[in-house]
Amino acid sequence: LTLKVLRVLFPFPRRERFDLMHVSSPGMLVHSSILASRLYQIPLLMSYHTHMPVYVRSYIPYPLNKLMEIFVWKYIKLTHSFADLTLVTSPQMAEEFAQHGIPRTIVWQKGVDTTKFHPDHQDADMRLRMSGGNSEDLLLVYIGRLGKEKRLKDLRGILEKMNSDGISTRLCIAGHGPAEDELQAYFQGTRTTFLGVLHGLELVQAFASGDIFVMPSDSETLGFVVLESMASGVPVVAARAGGPIDLIDHGRTGYLASTGDTENFVEAIRLLRDDTELHHRISLECRKEAELWSWEASMEQIRQKAYPQAFRNY
């Protein structure tokens, strides 16, 4: 069947004629969007959000994961070769796409709601709950998906090292995911509180009520929770990998540590804990940085840069 015949068999109603198609990848609508864009000669833009190769590395056993990762990259390259433009969420992701020969890729600066996520939501009762009734202790926080790819087991070594060094430290983990039960068992007997999934006011209070947000994951395409923590005025110590590299100016708006390096993470956490003036300064600076990442600016980039470029590429 030719495309002309298919257009006759599957007519596109005139009232639903689009100028451009924008689809999230990976996702259920990618393949149908590719077909529709070819059938009806409509420019196609894809935005890439979930980094599939990392999930393959994390969830498929060795050595099969190595073969699957090669296959997944070939699939991503094939899929995005149909896009007139692909948006990725960080320069690191754009570089990785370029290394795998995926064309027509630009960085889309995402946004954060700086009204919703705000230091004003700091709450003593929430802090008491997050710290298991020990609100005077140093409170480390992780909020987000509880998956193997997030490397959350790394946090136990960090927590134990802080306490063995004589610094009373608590860890709060909030969120849901496939590794939740395994993580609760792994952290049993440590100074860790699991809060489950939080919504609304409780969520923004949790972001604003800790001392330091810790992100051990090396799989982030952007790291929305990092940005939300920064908007809440809570300094972040994150793995030097993926999206957080683009979000954090090391030593000014937070700290980056080597992935899986407990000593490196502890060193950064101790800097913030031991110097209250430094902690306060970085808290102010990370809030200022987050204010530059507004959703208004993000959407303006889409309208003024991405969509016109997709038309030109088409």
- Are residues 306 and 45 in contact, defined by beta-carbon separation less than 8 angstroms? yes
Find, among 244, 235, 238, 172, the residue nearest to 202 by Cα: 172
All residues at 6 or more sequence positions from 132 whose CB lies less than 8 Å from its CB, including other chains: 170, 191, 193
**C-alpha–C-alpha distance, residues 158 and 30, integer Å:** 40
What pLDDT, in 10s, does the model give residues 62-78? 889 999 999 999 999 99
Q: What is the pLDDT averaged over residues 32-54? A: 90
pLDDT confidence of residue 6: 52
Six token digits for residue 160: 């134990």
What pLDDT, in 10s, does the model give residues 257-275? 999 999 999 999 999 999 9
All residues at 6 or more sequence positions from 241 whose CB lies less than 8 Å from its CB, including other chains: 92, 217, 218, 219, 220, 259
**C-alpha–C-alpha distance, residues 178 and 174, integer Å:** 13
pLDDT above 70 for 100: yes
184 C-beta neighbours (distance < 10 Å), count = 13
pLDDT confidence of residue 36: 87
Per DSSP, 172 falls in state E
Q: What is the pLDDT averaged over residues 110-135? A: 96
pLDDT confidence of residue 117: 97
pTM value is 0.85
pLDDT confidence of residue 16: 61
**C-alpha–C-alpha distance, residues 74 and 19, integer Å:** 29
Six token digits for residue 111: 């946004």
**C-alpha–C-alpha distance, residues 312 and 291, integer Å:** 32
Q: What is the pLDDT averaged over residues 96-118? A: 94
> How much of the chain, in percent, has pLDDT values that exceed 90?
78
Average the pLDDT over each of 58-67, 188-197, 226-235 and give the range with the smallest value.
58-67
Six token digits for residue 243: 């999206």
**C-alpha–C-alpha distance, residues 74 and 71, integer Å:** 5
Q: What is the pLDDT averaged over residues 178-188? A: 97
pLDDT confidence of residue 12: 60
pLDDT category at 179 given cuts 50, 70, 90 is very high
**C-alpha–C-alpha distance, residues 216 and 224, integer Å:** 14
pLDDT confidence of residue 154: 98
pLDDT confidence of residue 9: 46
- Are residues 172 and 102 in contact, defined by beta-carbon separation less than 8 angstroms? no
**C-alpha–C-alpha distance, residues 93 and 108, integer Å:** 11
Q: In Å, how far from its chain's centre is CA 145? A: 10
pLDDT confidence of residue 303: 93
Higher-confidence position of 129 and 41: 129
H or E segment and range at residue 86: strand 85-88
pLDDT above 50 for 1: no
Q: What is the DSSP string of 207-270?
A: HHSSSEEEE--S--SS-HHHHHHHHTT--EEEESSSTHHHH--BTTTBEEE-TT-HHHHHHHHH
What pLDDT, in 10s, does the model give residues 140-155? 999 999 999 999 999 9
pLDDT above 90 for 313: yes
**C-alpha–C-alpha distance, residues 207 and 225, integer Å:** 9
